[in-house]
Structure 1
Amino acid sequence: MKFLIILALAVAATAFPESELVHLSRVMPVQDNIEGRITNGKQASVGQFPYQVGLSLKVSALSSAWCGGSLIGSNWVLTAAHCTDGIQSVTVYLGATVRTSPEVSHTVSKSDILIHSGWNTNNLKNDISLIKIPAVAFSSRIQVVKLPSISSSYSTYAGSAVVASGWGRTSDSSNSVATNLQYVDLTVIANSVCAATYGTSIVTSSNICVATPSGKSTCNGDSGGPLVLEASKVQVGLTSFGAAAGCELGYPAAFTRLTSYLDWIKSNTGISY
């Protein structure tokens, strides 16, 4: 049986029966009600993930949401399209370990957000966007993450050890706000394995997936956050979707594969390796 995915890893989700094939649209609670952190992960130390960005997304005067992102240049943050689609503004938190205590923060309007022109909410393709921010000064807590080199465009990374980080939900039943940044060590799996759960129309060459043993996974609130190779510290993915049945049930977690978007990133930011 194929399990439909959660698009909105940005915010809290209601529980879904395992067999229910329902697309979860993005739900926007007030920021104080945003849930938890990465499921069954570890607490990050100060400065451990200096590229990690927190995003407080203003949807309307009464609603907001939370996502993650990564700093890829002094003026540029990388995140998921489903995080920034339809928002009015975003406050970018840099250098934070405690979620609400960043070293630097900037609020920018939707005019500073570039969503991939091919973003498709129906099949989740091209789930990637850029946020332009005022130039930030680097420090021990604020650093850019490297992207794959153009020559790595055809790497699958299957079997590679990776780490995901964020302030998303700690469990499927969690209803508490994460205070500290969390991370989890994971392993990349072949897309064919991932497609056995979600189908080949959803998992394509522009995705990268990880196994989630022992309930270790990304979850709601981690969307847009970085997936980084442990050995080289190169970001290869950003959090996109997971199983509607829940984050802790062992289904693969899927990310936007950055090697599919290196030219797009370069043409819009000038950043390449």
Structure 2
Amino acid sequence: MKLLLVFALALATTSADLLSRNVVHQRDLTFTPLIDGRITNGKDAVEGQFPYQVGASFSSSKGSWWCGGSIIDNEWVVTAAHCTSGATSVTLYFGGVVRTSPELKVTVSSSNFIQHSSYNSITIRNDISLIKIPSLSFNKNINKVNLPKKASSYSTYAGDVAIASGWGLISDSATAVHSKLQYTPLEVITNAECSAVFGKLLVYSSTICVATPAGTSTCQGDSGGPLVYGNDLIGITSYGSSAGCESGSPAAFTRVTSYLDWISANAGI
């Protein structure tokens, strides 16, 4: 949300073609991405259901914002680059379903962030960051999610149903992040379907999108959080439509299989 105005202005100068389209047919709709995420019309999670889920309260001299993240190792959390961008520190919440009652809280400075060096806030490309944390002791409520195997890099996951989770707002009319962890199953769609809505300048091979039927989606507050298929982290919540999280437009994630080498090079995983 904090980057929406900046992005809209930048996009106006970057892509006159996108902005000149008439909003008439669904396939021609072009929305300014809303950089944040939440679970709308989701379900309450129970203790231990998503032990890899992390809550993240980022701070800067200009304010603070809430995001999500995923434990991928006992010393590493992965999140979105637009979450770490501009932050001076983050307090991470582990092992809780109620947002304000985690099993463990850890605060680290931005010196522990590894933000992708080619992250572009205008095109939302390479929207991924790592956060180094003190070593965690895993238990039933705090544990890692698997990264996909290298062989999975050839899979688009289109047609598969994955699970998104987070504490974000639960409707377009809500004004604060939710108190209880929410989750929802979402079907992965092809990038061609996604780019028909957002445009080819915003959807890459490193993007993975889901359908959001019946107003069930990710949106503000869930940015950086997980999209998990089976036991594998396949997506990191990146952006949705400024038309609203209940609008039925796709939701976009950073495709984790595109960054396995980057994660390995920077975190050794």
TM-score (norm 1): 0.87
Tell me the residue number matched to 1:209: 209
Match among 228, 231, 234 for residue 232 of structure 2: 234
- Please list the CA deviations of residues 206-236 of structure 1 after superposition, one character each: whole Å capped at 9, or x if unmatched: 000000000000010000000001xx22110
- Please list the CA deviations of residues 232-266 of structure 1 after superposition, one character each: whole Å capped at 9, or x if unmatched: 22110000000111000100000000010000001
Are residue 184 (structure 1) and residue 211 (structure 2) matched?
Answer: no
Within 5 Å, give how 1:24-173 maps onto structure 2. Answer: 37-60=38-61, 63-173=63-173
Are residue 6 (structure 1) and residue 5 (structure 2) matched?
Answer: no
Q: Find the residue that maps to 2:231 and give its secondary structure.
A: coil
Once the two structures are TM-superposed, the CA of residue 2 in structure 1 deviates from its matched residue by 3.3
Within 5 Å, give how 1:250-261 maps onto structure 2. Answer: 250-261=248-259
How far apart in 1 are the matches of 2:157 and 2:33? Answer: 24
Cα RMSD, aligned residues only:
1.1
Aligned residues: 242
Give 5+ residue unaligned stretches, structure 2.
1-27
How far apart in 2 are the matches of 1:249 and 1:151? Answer: 35
* Greater helix fraction, Structure 1 or Structure 2: 2
Does the aligned pair in 2 maintain the 1:97–1:181 contact within 8 Å?
yes
How far apart in 1 are the matches of 2:30 and 2:249? Answer: 9
Aligned amino acid, residue 5 of structure 1:
T
Does the aligned pair in 1 maintain the 2:188–2:209 contact within 8 Å?
yes
Tell me the residue number matched to 1:19: none
Does the aligned pair in 1 maintain the 2:83–2:224 contact within 8 Å?
yes
Aligned amino acid, residue 243 of structure 1:
S
- Please list the CA deviations of residues 158-216 of structure 1 after superposition, one character each: whole Å capped at 9, or x if unmatched: 00010000011111111144111000111000000001000111111000000000000
Tell me the residue number matched to 2:22: none
Aligned amino acid, residue 29 of structure 2:
K
How far apart in 2 are the matches of 1:223 and 1:248? Answer: 16
Does the aligned pair in 2 maintain the 1:57–1:89 contact within 8 Å?
yes
Does the aligned pair in 1 maintain the 2:35–2:240 contact within 8 Å?
no
Tell me the residue number matched to 1:30: none
Tell me the residue number matched to 2:5: none
- Please list the CA deviations of residues 99-138 of structure 1 after superposition, one character each: whole Å capped at 9, or x if unmatched: 0111111100000001001100110000000000000100
Aligned amino acid, residue 75 of structure 2:
N
Tell me the residue number matched to 2:247: 249
How far apart in 1 are the matches of 2:177 and 2:92? Answer: 18
Dislocated runs of 4+, deviation >3 Å: none
How far apart in 1 are the matches of 2:177 and 2:214? Answer: 22
Once the two structures are TM-superposed, the CA of residue 7 in structure 1 deviates from its matched residue by 4.3
Tell me the residue number matched to 2:14: none
How far apart in 2 are the matches of 1:83 and 1:2? Answer: 27
